[in-house]
Chains A and B, each alone.
Chain A
Amino acid sequence: MIDRRTLLQAGLCGIAAPSLLGRLAFAAPDTKKVLVVVMLRGAVDGLSVVAPCADDSYYAARPTIAVARPDDTAKPEAERLLRLDDRFGLHPAMQPLHRAFSERRLAFVHAAGSPAATRSHFDAQDYMESGTPDRKATEDGFLNRLLASSAKAADTELRAIAVTNAMPRIMSGQARAVVFSTLGDLSLGQGKGAASTGASFEAMYAAAVHDVLHGPTQEVFDVARQIEKAGVTKMKPENGAVYPKDAFGRSLSEIAALIRANLGVQIAFTDIGGWDTHASQGGATGQLAKRLDVLAKSLDAFAIDLGKRMDDVVVVAMSEFGRTVRENGSRGTDHGHGNVMLVAHGGVRGGKVYGTWPGLGEGQRFEGRDLAVTTDFREVLWQVAAKHLRATNRDVVFPGFTPVADASALALF
């Protein structure tokens, strides 16, 4: 739905400065819409998350780590996949998210990934975050371009936040993004002394106009003030949401608090590691299951916490590539190719596993060993940008990317 204001604004821009239109990715700023992107660093084994349980080659290739079919009564129910459709089952540790799937609020896209063939974690993450596979020269991240080319919805430093240990590639670039590993990091301490010290530092860095730290430090003090004023650090989760006591749970709870505080957050990013399961990956239980448990419980708590507000929030979870179809000699999996993506809430048409399934047979695999990619990850992300955030300038956000002509099979919204 495009309202009158949108049309007016777009029209005005077109008349006043046609060249500017190209930089406008949002047709109209909608302060309510939020995109939360979660990067699963280390290559999660998507074939365990959403397992192709109707595919016999899945069980043949993974004698010790495959998860039992939903109807495999030889196994206790807790160790079986949760039915998604005739072809796929959800890992039992992801159980907290099964309800959202059943209620059509959560979808998966399988055999998704990057066209880049690299099996390097770092290159693959880099390509995914820059949004330009196989192009190293791209300097900024696609979330930043999404932000930079958009109108500012509110006068805030907090439009884009990353709750990560360091500035992530996906967020770096011209537009400002606030990065912290936990909200507590933003405070210089309590009391009058801290406040006056803060003021002194502010003056010192404001004067250092030629220093590379001049820009970033100017945000520090503004952001700290805004957060303090809104009382974000004192906010508790709502609706009885309980986050796992884990860095990832904490990150999501802080993102939820910032959204609830109405500080103008439009794009939020965080990440979770521990997926590089080369050895002793486990099946229904074990190493991978433990991480999936944290992931699922955290995402579930996030949705409970934000309650009705989730109608305006889309969550995307992705990982740099998938893992080998065959388990390796250490009951683990090595670096692979295609993977599964999670897209949920907002206006997402959930309850479905999207994407074309390429099969796992020897001849169907990418380079003879991995799940092939049938959906470019940008296909999914561009739909989210366009439909949820109403972005229009694809060439800015994903330069060189052309979506498939017939997107009806992947109509996420």
Chain B
Amino acid sequence: MRLVACLAALLTAAPAKPEATGALALTRFGYGPRGSERAAVEKARWADVIERQLAYERIDDGQSDKALRELDDLPTTAGELIARFPKPNMLQKGMERMGITREPPPDVDKPGELIQALQARRLVRAVTTERQLYEAMVELWLDHFNVFARKRGVMYAIADYERIIREHALGSFESLLIGVAESAAMAMYLDNDDNVRPNAPWPMQAIPDEVDLRACKYLPRERVEKLTRRASKNKWPKGKEPKRERGINENYARELLELHTLGVEGGYTQNDVTEVARVFTGWTVFDPEGSLGCADSGRAVFVPELHDPGDKVVLGQTIASAGREEGLQVLRLLARHASTARFIATKLVHRFVADAPPAALVDKVAATFTTSKGDLRAVMRVLALDEATIAAALQRSKVKRPFDLVVSSLRAVDAQTDGDVVTRRYLRALNHMPYAWQTPNGYPDDAVRWTNVGALTQRLRFGIALAGNGIQGTRVELQKIVGDEIANGGKPIAAAELVDAIATRLLGKDLSKSTRDTAIAALGDDPNAARAVGLLLGSPEFQHR
């Protein structure tokens, strides 16, 4: 009896108390260490790694920049992007303009190619960057301020949008909020480009003769305003009179309050939504042909003729009629609001600590948000160095979302990747492609949303494909992990030895006894390195962060 109890105790005994290492910090606040670097970061302290990562500007990221440069040759302006990746209707128009009368080729999805390239960039950046915490923040804000590439012309403005997010990801929340409000991507995604005062003029359709695709990309704001002023005086050509009156669209205003700042319980009313919508009338995108998303430098423009004048009352505060300044005033008001501090703090704790955010930690982070006036670096420092955060990390309390699983796998095996098939096939199957979430709340965070039957199978499948070099454009050099001879099957190795060697790179001390035992048993007498890597990438331990 005693023997049985003793054996049972042995079998269930927890491994030696784990330490909060730098490797764990990188796993929790990034996409995990590279396999080749794991041993070194395991020796580093949690706090040192966090501090280094917070000062991201001082981390050289030349190698990652180089990898990105080699990836594609996407043009940098919206106009050039439109010209190169036209939508089918635009393709037809362009062909007509060039005097080509035949039908455009069927099934050509040029915008899809552009979106694919943008998604691959995100993946490759996350895999290669040394600025891991910063990159995790970029991912967080791109969820928080979600845009969907396939909505109207958003795809042409995403590169610019990502630049805005990156500029402020660890900076000031207020600047981030203003940057997003001024972005063409968000204006199109949440329809604010069509949020105008009642009976506003129609600048876009009024000027098709003198603006073409090539001109619009560099069109300065003054010119847009001039054209708009003229349009309001112009008579409509016969048969081209507008069929409807323009007016307020409250889509952006509502999500600004509900999802970007205060939170749904942040204390606003339907009337606030309507008033905020009025405030943002005239924040639009210059778009001469309706749905082209022909945005000038990715920034929305303010067109006074489209703005609803008069005072507004937002959250009990009078916003005096002041054109574009009203919007900035409201954004500042929202950025400094106590509900916003709480809402953002909850989101950060949810992402980096636990699916059920501990209240005390949320309070602390929210207080820092308020006192620091939304200094995101200061907020993240308090969050990342808190004991509750470290304790949660030691318990691996979060399950990796698919993007995290895929990126951390690629890093753990030091893979070279062009990001193409990995996103197009695997992230698609895992339902976690960048810029592909349709609704403005961004991809969910809770483990329960990502661990259903279908998704779990796809996780395992990815690890096997990666380890077996079965993904085109992605290469794993197993010999670097286990040595040439073993990788080539030239030198026999015991299964246990192989599993331990691989685990050193992939999991460090996280490898549990039961996983080790099953992996060894699975490999049998003829252990194969690719199979061993696939099994460990699919292990329960590797699904956590």
* A, B co-complexed: yes
The chain A residues found within 8 Å of chain B, CB to CB, are 41-42, 63-64, 118-123, 162, 165-167, 172, 178-182, 185-189, 196-197, 199-201, 203-205, 207-208, 211-214, 216-217, 219-220, 223-224, 273-274, 276, 278-279, 328-332, 334-335, 367
| CB within 8 Å of A: which B526-540 residues | 531, 534-535, 538-540
Inter-chain CA distance A180–B455, complex, in Å, is 7
Q: When the two chains form the complex, which single residue of A123, A212, A329 contacts B249, counting CB atoms closer than 8 Å?
A: A329
Known: A118-B264, A167-B452, A216-B452. A200 touches B431 (CB 8 A): no
Q: When the two chains form the complex, which single residue of A196, A214, A279 contacts B540, counting CB atoms closer than 8 Å?
A: A214
Inter-chain CA distance A367–B544, complex, in Å, is 47
Interface size on B, residues (CB 8 A): 59
Q: Assess the A182–B454 pair: CB atoms within 8 A.
A: yes
For B519, what are the chain A residues with a Cβ–Cβ distance below 8 Å?
A: 200, 204
Residue of A nearest to B449 (CB): A166
Q: When the two chains form the complex, which single residue of B249, B453, B515 contacts A207, counting CB atoms closer than 8 Å?
A: B515
Q: Assess the A200–B429 pair: CB atoms within 8 A.
A: no
Chain B nearest Cβ from A207, distance in angstroms: 4
Q: Kindly list 19 other residue pairs between chains A and B, CB separation below 8 angstroms, not including A211-B544, A329-B245.
A: A165-B431, A166-B431, A166-B444, A172-B448, A179-B453, A180-B455, A185-B458, A197-B460, A200-B519, A204-B522, A207-B514, A213-B451, A220-B453, A276-B251, A276-B439, A279-B194, A329-B194, A329-B195, A330-B195
For B270, what are the chain A residues with a Cβ–Cβ distance below 8 Å?
A: 119, 367
Q: Assess the B439–A329 pair: CB atoms within 8 A.
A: no
B472 within 8 Å of A by Cβ?
A: no
Inter-chain CA distance A224–B456, complex, in Å, is 12
| CB within 8 Å of A: which B145-200 residues | 190-191, 194-196, 198, 200
B438 within 8 Å of A by Cβ?
A: yes
B517 within 8 Å of A by Cβ?
A: yes
Q: Quick one: CB contact mask for B370-381 with A, threshold 8 Å, 1 for yes?
A: 000000000000
Chain B nearest Cβ from A338, distance in angstroms: 15
B543 within 8 Å of A by Cβ?
A: yes
Inter-chain CA distance A196–B519, complex, in Å, is 12
Inter-chain CA distance A41–B439, complex, in Å, is 9
Chain B nearest Cβ from A177, distance in angstroms: 8
Q: Assess the A166–B518 pair: CB atoms within 8 A.
A: no
B247 within 8 Å of A by Cβ?
A: yes
Inter-chain CA distance A182–B431, complex, in Å, is 11
7 A-B pairs (CB sep. < 8 Å): A188-B457, A196-B522, A200-B518, A205-B540, A220-B453, A273-B438, A276-B251
For A178, what are the chain B residues with a Cβ–Cβ distance below 8 Å?
A: 452-453
Q: Assess the A329–B449 pair: CB atoms within 8 A.
A: no
Q: Assess the A180–B515 pair: CB atoms within 8 A.
A: no
For B457, what are the chain A residues with a Cβ–Cβ distance below 8 Å?
A: 185-188, 220, 224
Inter-chain CA distance A335–B195, complex, in Å, is 15
Inter-chain CA distance A329–B248, complex, in Å, is 5
B66 within 8 Å of A by Cβ?
A: no
Known: A329-B198, A331-B244. A179 touches B454 (CB 8 A): yes
Known: A204-B515, A213-B540, A332-B191. A42 touches B439 (CB 8 A): yes
Residue of A nearest to B355 (CB): A212
Chain B nearest Cβ from A140, distance in angstroms: 11
B250 within 8 Å of A by Cβ?
A: yes
For A122, what are the chain B residues with a Cβ–Cβ distance below 8 Å?
A: 258, 264, 439, 441
For A188, what are the chain B residues with a Cβ–Cβ distance below 8 Å?
A: 457, 460-461, 464
A-B CB proximity, top 3 nearest: A329-B247, A180-B454, A179-B452
Inter-chain CA distance A187–B457, complex, in Å, is 7
Known: A167-B449, A214-B540. A204 touches B191 (CB 8 A): no
For B448, what are the chain A residues with a Cβ–Cβ distance below 8 Å?
A: 167, 172
Chain B nearest Cβ from A291, distance in angstroms: 12
Q: Quick one: CB contact mask for B48-83 with A, threshold 8 Å, 1 for yes?
A: 000000000000000000000000000000000000
Inter-chain CA distance A94–B505, complex, in Å, is 57
Residue of A nearest to B250 (CB): A334
Inter-chain CA distance A162–B452, complex, in Å, is 10
For B438, what are the chain A residues with a Cβ–Cβ distance below 8 Å?
A: 273-274
B364 within 8 Å of A by Cβ?
A: no
Inter-chain CA distance A332–B193, complex, in Å, is 13
B246, B444, B457, B518 pick with most chain A CB within 10 angstroms:
B457
Inter-chain CA distance A45–B310, complex, in Å, is 32
A123, A178, A181, A185 pick with most chain B CB within 10 angstroms:
A185
For B531, what are the chain A residues with a Cβ–Cβ distance below 8 Å?
A: 197
Residue of A nearest to B513 (CB): A207
Q: Quick one: CB contact mask for B214-256 with A, threshold 8 Å, 1 for yes?
A: 0000000000000000000000000000011111111100100
Number of CB contacts from chain A to chain B under 8 A: 165
For A121, what are the chain B residues with a Cβ–Cβ distance below 8 Å?
A: 439, 441
Known: A188-B461, A213-B399. A223 touches B453 (CB 8 A): yes
Q: Assess the B539–A181 pair: CB atoms within 8 A.
A: no
Known: A186-B453, A188-B457. A334 touches B251 (CB 8 A): yes
Residue of A nearest to B464 (CB): A197
Q: Assess the B460–A201 pair: CB atoms within 8 A.
A: yes
Known: A200-B518, A278-B249. A211 touches B454 (CB 8 A): no
For B521, what are the chain A residues with a Cβ–Cβ distance below 8 Å?
A: 200, 203
Q: Assess the B454–A329 pair: CB atoms within 8 A.
A: no
Known: A179-B452, A186-B457, A334-B249. A204 touches B439 (CB 8 A): no
For B464, what are the chain A residues with a Cβ–Cβ distance below 8 Å?
A: 188-189, 197
For A224, what are the chain B residues with a Cβ–Cβ distance below 8 Å?
A: 457
Residue of B nearest to A368 (CB): B270
B512 within 8 Å of A by Cβ?
A: yes
Residue of A nearest to B515 (CB): A204
Inter-chain CA distance A334–B273, complex, in Å, is 11
Q: Assess the A201–B250 pair: CB atoms within 8 A.
A: no
Q: Assess the B439–A328 pair: CB atoms within 8 A.
A: no
Inter-chain CA distance A68–B302, complex, in Å, is 38
Chain B nearest Cβ from A112, distance in angstroms: 21
Chain A nearest Cβ from B460, distance in angstroms: 6
For A330, what are the chain B residues with a Cβ–Cβ distance below 8 Å?
A: 191, 194-195, 246-247, 249
Residue of A nearest to B543 (CB): A213
For A63, what are the chain B residues with a Cβ–Cβ distance below 8 Å?
A: 244
B190, B249, B254, B438 pick with most chain A CB within 10 angstroms:
B249
Q: Assess the A212–B447 pair: CB atoms within 8 A.
A: yes
For B264, what are the chain A residues with a Cβ–Cβ distance below 8 Å?
A: 118, 120, 122-123
Q: Assess the B540–A204 pair: CB atoms within 8 A.
A: yes
For B249, what are the chain A residues with a Cβ–Cβ distance below 8 Å?
A: 278-279, 328-330, 332, 334
Q: Assess the A278–B196 pair: CB atoms within 8 A.
A: no
For B191, what are the chain A residues with a Cβ–Cβ distance below 8 Å?
A: 278-279, 330, 332
Inter-chain CA distance A166–B452, complex, in Å, is 7
| CB within 8 Å of A: which B446-489 residues | 447-458, 460-461, 464
For B444, what are the chain A residues with a Cβ–Cβ distance below 8 Å?
A: 166
A63, A199, A213, A332 pick with most chain B CB within 10 angstroms:
A213
Known: A185-B429, A204-B539, A212-B447. A328 touches B452 (CB 8 A): no
For A217, what are the chain B residues with a Cβ–Cβ distance below 8 Å?
A: 456, 540
Inter-chain CA distance A278–B191, complex, in Å, is 7
Q: Assess the B244–A328 pair: CB atoms within 8 A.
A: no
Residue of B nearest to A211 (CB): B540
Q: When the two chains form the complex, which single residue of A179, A201, A211, A334 contacts B535, counting CB atoms closer than 8 Å?
A: A201
Q: Assess the B515–A208 pair: CB atoms within 8 A.
A: yes
Q: Assess the B540–A329 pair: CB atoms within 8 A.
A: no
Inter-chain CA distance A70–B71, complex, in Å, is 56
Inter-chain CA distance A367–B273, complex, in Å, is 14
Q: When the two chains form the complex, which single residue of B198, B248, B254, B539 contacts A119, counting CB atoms closer than 8 Å?
A: B254
Q: When the two chains form the complex, which single residue of B273, B456, B458, B512 contacts A208, counting CB atoms closer than 8 Å?
A: B512
Q: Assess the A216–B243 pair: CB atoms within 8 A.
A: no
Inter-chain CA distance A196–B518, complex, in Å, is 12
For A205, what are the chain B residues with a Cβ–Cβ distance below 8 Å?
A: 540
For A213, what are the chain B residues with a Cβ–Cβ distance below 8 Å?
A: 399, 451, 456, 540, 543
For B452, what are the chain A residues with a Cβ–Cβ distance below 8 Å?
A: 162, 166-167, 178-180, 216
Inter-chain CA distance A64–B243, complex, in Å, is 8
